[in-house]
């Protein structure tokens, strides 16, 4: 969710408002709201403040940043923040404990999940395959196997491995291949091959202009619309 218009649309959908209803609350037409969401023009400062009031979101959400530009967040994340603020001290303590434990578990990827000993690299390979075809839900799973690979065969920036499922990335990546993945804070560049979640389904594809591209020509590109949610899980560095 990268543009002001996309965030207005997401917040409006969350509130269950039509464009015309939101426009009425702001004193503009539904067509004006439509143009904002399409990025054809933008609300002025006064309308932006009023938008935040009607949609019940902070201005930082619509502008896609916290003050100082420290982090981006989604509508779902902002909803969780609002719930957290309602909790008493006991509730916040419980949530903080779970959050700290899960954060520690996930941030161990950079260190503990890749080990080098005696010219052998120990790296996690996630058993749930990533689709090189029509898409496969990945879900919140952490089942994995531990691979022992000669260090010289492991790319320097690899954080973990995934198994390919399907033939749409042939001849470079075949069904059953294990690929090395570098975790990223953002996305791969256009033209690079990455691991993507598109509306909850996992793919290994080349990133194109508003599309995910297969290397096998018998598979058409997967088009990405403004209403799709695309997240990049990492850059593919090669295969085992």
pLDDT value for 130: 60
- Find the distance separating the first CA and the last CA of the chain, reported in whole Å: 33
ω into residue 171 within 30 of 0, thus cis? Answer: yes
pLDDT tens per residue, range 63-112:
765 444 444 556 667 778 878 888 898 988 898 888 887 766 555 544 45
Averaged pLDDT for residues 164-182: 89
CB-CB contact of 71 with 16 (8 Å): no
Cα 74 from Cα 42, distance rounded (Å): 20
Cα 167 from Cα 173, distance rounded (Å): 8
- CATH superfamily of the 4-86 domain: lambda repressor-like DNA-binding domains (1.10.260.40)
Structure-token pair, residue 23 = 């426009």
Task: Please report which helix (H) or strand (E) contains residue 176, including its range.
Answer: none
Task: Return the higher-pLDDT residue of 25 and 136.
Answer: 25
> Parallel, antiparallel, or unpaired: how do β-strands 120-131 and 160-165 relate?
parallel
pLDDT value for 100: 81
In this prediction, residue 47 has a pLDDT band, given cuts at 50, 70 and 90, of: confident
pLDDT value for 197: 83
pLDDT tens per residue, range 105-157:
555 544 456 788 888 988 888 765 565 555 554 544 445 688 889 999 999 88
In the chain, CATH 2.10.109.10 covers: 111-239
In the chain, CATH 1.10.260.40 covers: 4-86
pLDDT tens per residue, range 186-223:
889 999 999 988 877 788 999 998 899 999 988 899 99
Q: Domain 111-239 is in which class? A: mainly beta
Residue 158: pLDDT over 80: yes
In this prediction, residue 5 has a pLDDT band, given cuts at 50, 70 and 90, of: confident
What is the C-alpha R_g of the chain? 21
In this prediction, residue 173 has a pLDDT band, given cuts at 50, 70 and 90, of: very high
């Amino acid at each position: 969710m990268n543009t002001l218009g996309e965030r207005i649309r997401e917040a409006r959908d969350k509130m269950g408002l039509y464009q015309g209803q939101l426009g009425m609350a702001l004193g503009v037409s539904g067509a004006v709201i439509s143009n904002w969401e399409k990025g054809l023009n933008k609300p002025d400062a006064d309308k932006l403040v009023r938008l935040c009031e009607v949609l019940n979101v902070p201005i930082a959400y619509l502008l896609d940043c916290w003050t100082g530009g420290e982090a981006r967040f989604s509508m779902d994340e902002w909803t969780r923040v609002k719930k957290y603020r309602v909790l008493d001290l006991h509730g916040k303590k419980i949530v903080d404990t779970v959050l700290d434990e899960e954060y520690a578990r996930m941030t161990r990827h950079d260190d503990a999940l890749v080990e080098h000993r005696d010219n052998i690299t120990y790296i996690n390979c996630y058993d749930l395959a990533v689709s090189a075809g029509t898409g496969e839900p990945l879900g919140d799973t952490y089942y994995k196997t531990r691979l022992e690979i000669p260090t010289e065969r492991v790319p320097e920036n690899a954080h973990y491995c995934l198994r390919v499922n399907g033939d749409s990335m042939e001849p470079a990546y075949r069904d059953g291949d294990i690929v090395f993945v570098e975790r990223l804070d953002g996305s791969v560049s256009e033209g690079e091959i990455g691991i993507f979640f598109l509306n909850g389904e996992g793919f290994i594809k080349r990133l194109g202009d508003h599309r995910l591209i297969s290397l096998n020509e018998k598979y058409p590109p997967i088009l990405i619309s403004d209403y799709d949610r695309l997240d990049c899980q990492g850059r593919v560095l090669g295969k085992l």
